[in-house]
Amino acid sequence: MSIELKQAGAALACEAARMAGLGWMRGTSGNLSVTLRQDPLRLAVTASGLDKGELTAADVVVVDATGKAVPDQPNPAQRPSAEAGLHARIASVAGAGAVVHVHMLSAVVAAQRWPGGVVLRDLEMLKGLGRRDDDVMTVPVVPNSQDMGVLGDAFEAGFDAATPVVIVARHGVYVWGRDLVQARHRTECLDWLFQFTLATNGFQEVVA
């Protein structure tokens, strides 16, 4: 295993353990990736079928622009999730350095409540997404599919460079950033924003 891949694997394992501890990667669900290079596109993705709270630096698979494992893997027995295809599409279209896919309940419930898009507005936490606190951000919601090409097309059709997130209905959320730390920070901020928006839905604003 190259030093670059070992470092990527260690970072992915660390972030996966953190997110599993938050209840966002229950069982063996969810997957994280970092972009190793853009041309040709190569991603390091957490290996499929493993407890995301117990990953090691070796539990990583290198995939290409289609999400398929490239030859000469350090551990050929490991395989990427089929969802690696959407990671690759996001990295290609958004130029992301890292993509987080978790099954964050607040995002899935918000998408169930607002299937046309989850509107987040006038909240200080929007600054964590690179937006102003008086801004309005609509998080796109796309229908779930087992076909990553279909999901990728839906993501790309609604892509907005200023909105680094897409919710897959009744499934989970994808969040991206320039690196894993920024992607994690954005995911944490979004969880708060979704929880607040759900909790205050139906409240009437009191104007002094």
The closest alpha carbon to 176, from 31, 72, 37, 50, belongs to 31
Residue pair 51/72 in contact (Cβ under 8 Å)? The answer is no
Phi, psi angles (nearest 5°) of residue 172: -175, -165
Tell me, yes or no, if the pTM score tops 0.85: yes
CA distance 168 to 47: 21
For the chain, list residues with pLDDT below 50: 206-208
Which pLDDT tens digit goes with each residue over 102-145? 999 999 999 999 999 999 999 999 999 999 999 999 999 999 99
H helices present in the chain, as ranges: 3-21, 84-94, 105-113, 148-157, 180-199
All structural domains of the chain: 3-199 (3.40.225.10)
Residues 6+ apart with CB under 8 A from 3: none
